[in-house]
Amino acid sequence: MGSVKGFMDHEREVPVSRSVDERLQDHLEVYSPLSEDKYKEQGARCMDCGVPFCQSDAGCPLGNMIPDWNDMVYQGKWEEALALLLKTNNFPEFTGRICPAPCEGACVLGINKLPVTICKIEEAIADKGFEKGYIKPNPPKNRTGKNIAIVGSGPAGLACAAQLNEVGHSVTVYEKSDRVGGLLMYGIPHFKLDKEVVKRRIKLMKDEGIIFLTGINIGVDISFNKIADDFDAVVLCGGSEKSRDLIIEGRDLDGVHFAMEFLPQQNKRNEGDVISQDIAITAKDKNVLIIGGGDTGSDCLGTSLRQEAKNVYQFELLPQPPGKRMITNPWPEWPMVMRVSSSHKEAKTEVRQFSVSTKKFSGVNGILKKVHAIEVKLGDSDPKTGRPQIIEVPGSEFELDIDLVLLAMGFVHPVHEGMISELGVKLDNRGNVWCDENKMTSIDGVFTAGDMARGQSLVVWAIAEGREAARGVDVYLMKETNLPHSQFLK
C-alpha cells in the first residue's frame, strides 16, 4: 500500500452524473468518468486491511484481488492493475457498470466511513485497458480438438465460453435472440450499460475464435439431441426467464405487461430496429404503474421517463428500508438500506409507494383503466415459512387511473418449455436446473451455469458460475484442468 493515510486524506467520490434534463433526452450512459487523478485518489483510500472482506464470500463472488489493483491504480500502474483484474473477472467493463457492488458493502472502511469506490475503479481499469490497447484478442496457440456448445450468451455463457476457449477448446455459442449478449443486450437499458461496450467485447471474443450463432432457440428451432450429437459437451446458460406473475382480477387486460416485454423493445429501438405497432409497448403520454422495487423496476422507471410518460407510480409490497444499517444487519453483510437509483433521481417527485398490495385491475372493453390497491403492514411470522405475514390495513383501499402496468417482481426459474422439457433434466425444488459440484446436470456431458442453475442473481455471480462450469467441462474432457476454481460458489 503506497498511501498509508489515503483513507484519511480523501473522501469517497463517484463519477458525476449528467444533468437530468440532458440525460432524459437520450439513452446514453448516465455517468461521466472521473479524471485519472481522481481515480488514483480513490485507489489510495484502500486501507490494505488485515483481512480484505471485499474479496471474501461476503464481498466479491469472483474473489477479485481488490486491494492489489486499487494500489496499482493509485500508483498509476494501469496495465498491472488490469492484469490482476483479468485473472479473476473476464468482463470488468460489465461488472464495473452494473454490479451492485457487494464488495463495497463488505469494505472494512465502510464500518465507520463511506467505502472505497471499488466498482467504478474496476470500470476505469477495464476502459483504460481498451483505450490503451492492453486488452486485445489473444486466441489460443493450440486447439484440443474438443468442441463445446454453450446455450445462451448472457454473462454466464460468455464467461464459460471465454474460459474454455482460453485452454484451446472450440466453442460455439447459441443465442435465441437476434443479437448476442442475453440480458446484457436486452435486459439492461442502454443508460446503464452502453451496448457498444457489449459489442466491443463480443468482437474481441469472435477474434479469439469463438463462434456465435444467433436466432436459434434450442429445443424449438433445433432439437437438443442434434446439438448433443455434434459436440463433446454442452453447457446450458439460458438464464432465469420465467417472470413472477401477479394472478389477480384484470391480469388479462390490454395494458398489463411483464417488464421483460417492455424493456427489450426500447433496447431494440436504440439499436435501430422498428417495433411493429401491433406489439409495441410504450409509456409515452400514459399513466404508468411499476409493480416491484428492484433493479428491473428502476430500469422500467428510467425507460418510462425517457419515453415521456405522463405520470409514473411504483408499488413495493414491503416497507421502506431504513436509512442506515440496522443492528440486525451488521457489517460485512449486504446493507439492507434505502437506495436511490439514477432513475429515481430523474423523477420529479418520489414515485415509490411502500407497503402496498395490488388487489385488482379494471378496465373498459378489455383495456386497462384503473388499478385497485390497499396499504399493508408486516405481522407475525408465518409458522410454515418463517416469513412475516402481510396484513391489510382496514380502510386504506385506494385506486389510480393507470394506462400501463409493468410487472417487475423478479423471476422464479428458467423457462421449462422447449429445451428443458425435451431434455428431461433434473430440477431442484425451486424449478432451476440441478447440477453437481462440477456444474454437471443429471445428464452426462451436459453442464449448466448462471441463473438457470442458481436462480435469479447478480451478473457477478453469473460470471463466477460460468467460469466454474468451464472448469467442470475441462476436467470432464481432459481429466485435468489449469482453470481456476470459483471458491465462493454455494
- Distance (Å, whole) CA 336 – CA 324: 8
pLDDT at 392: 97
- Select from 430, 464, 432, 427 the least CA-distant residue to 443: 427
- Select from 424, 428, 485 the least CA-distant residue to 452: 428
Using an 8 Å Cβ cutoff, are 42 and 35 in contact?
A: no
The answer to whether residue 461 sits within a structural domain is yes
CATH code where residue 437 lies: 3.50.50.60
pLDDT at 456: 95
DSSP secondary structure letter of residue 101: -
Residues 264 and 374 in one domain: yes
Residue carrying the nine cell digits 437530468: 20
* Maximal CA-CA distance, the chain: 72
Residues 345 and 463 in one domain: no
pLDDT at 3: 81
CATH code where residue 72 lies: 1.10.1060.10
Residues 232 and 261 in one domain: no
The answer to whether residue 139 sits within a structural domain is no
pLDDT at 1: 62
The answer to whether residue 140 sits within a structural domain is no
Residues 44 and 124 in one domain: yes
Cα distances (Å, whole numbers) of residue 70 to 30, 40, 124, 249, 262: 24, 8, 11, 53, 38
Q: Domain end: 380, 409, 438, which one?
A: 409
Q: Which residues of 347-358 are buried (b: 16+ CB within 10 A; e: fewer)?
A: beeebbbbbbbb
pLDDT at 353: 98
Residues 255 and 401 in one domain: yes
Residue 490 clears pLDDT 60, i.e. is over it: no
Residues 262 and 386 in one domain: yes
What's the chain's average pLDDT?
A: 96
Average pLDDT over residues 49-55: 91
- Distance (Å, whole) CA 429 – CA 432: 7
The answer to whether residue 123 sits within a structural domain is yes
pLDDT at 247: 97
Residues 295 and 166 in one domain: no
The answer to whether residue 370 sits within a structural domain is yes
β-strand 356-364 against 367-381: which pairing, if any?
antiparallel
Q: Domain end: 98, 131, 164, which one?
A: 131
SS3 479: coil
Q: How many folded domains does the chain comprise?
A: 3
Using an 8 Å Cβ cutoff, are 97 and 192 in contact?
A: yes
The answer to whether residue 483 sits within a structural domain is no
Residues 120 and 157 in one domain: no
- Distance (Å, whole) CA 40 – CA 50: 21
Q: In the beta sheet, which residues pair with residue 312? A: 288
Using an 8 Å Cβ cutoff, are 307 and 282 in contact?
A: yes
Q: 436-466, pLDDT tens digit by residue? A: 999 999 999 999 999 999 999 999 999 999 9
The answer to whether residue 340 sits within a structural domain is yes
β-strand 356-364 against 352-354: which pairing, if any?
unpaired
Residues 126 and 152 in one domain: no
Residue 41 clears pLDDT 90, i.e. is over it: yes
pLDDT at 386: 85
Residues 381 and 426 in one domain: no
Residue 2 clears pLDDT 70, i.e. is over it: no
Helices (H), 400-458: 419-423, 451-454
Average pLDDT over residues 14-21: 94
Q: Which residues, 6 or more positions from 384, have their beta carbon under 8 angstroms from its beta carbon?
A: none
pTM of the complete model: 0.96
**Taking the C-alpha atoms of 81, 464, 244 and 213 in order, what is their torsion angle to the nearest 10 degrees?**
90
Q: Which residues, 6 or more positions from 236, have their beta carbon under 8 angstroms from its beta carbon?
A: 151, 152, 419, 425, 433, 441, 446, 447, 448, 449, 452, 453
Q: 224-268, pLDDT tens digit by residue? A: 999 999 999 999 999 999 999 999 999 999 999 999 999 999 999
The answer to whether residue 171 sits within a structural domain is yes
Percent of the chain exceeding pLDDT 70 equals: 99
Phi first, then psi, for residue 103 (nearest 5°) are -60, -40
SS3 308: coil
**Domain range for residue 320?**
246-409
Residues 315 and 451 in one domain: no
Residue carrying the nine cell digits 379494471: 362
Q: Which three cell numbers stand for residue 132?
A: 490503451
Q: Domain end: 356, 383, 409, which one?
A: 409
Helices and strands, counts by H and E, the chain: 18, 18
Q: In the beta sheet, which residues pair with residue 413? A: 242
Residues 282 and 402 in one domain: yes
Q: In the beta sheet, which residues pair with residue 236? A: 151, 448
Q: Which residues, 6 or more positions from 274, have their beta carbon under 8 angstroms from its beta carbon?
A: none
Q: 347-358, pLDDT tens digit by residue? A: 989 999 999 999
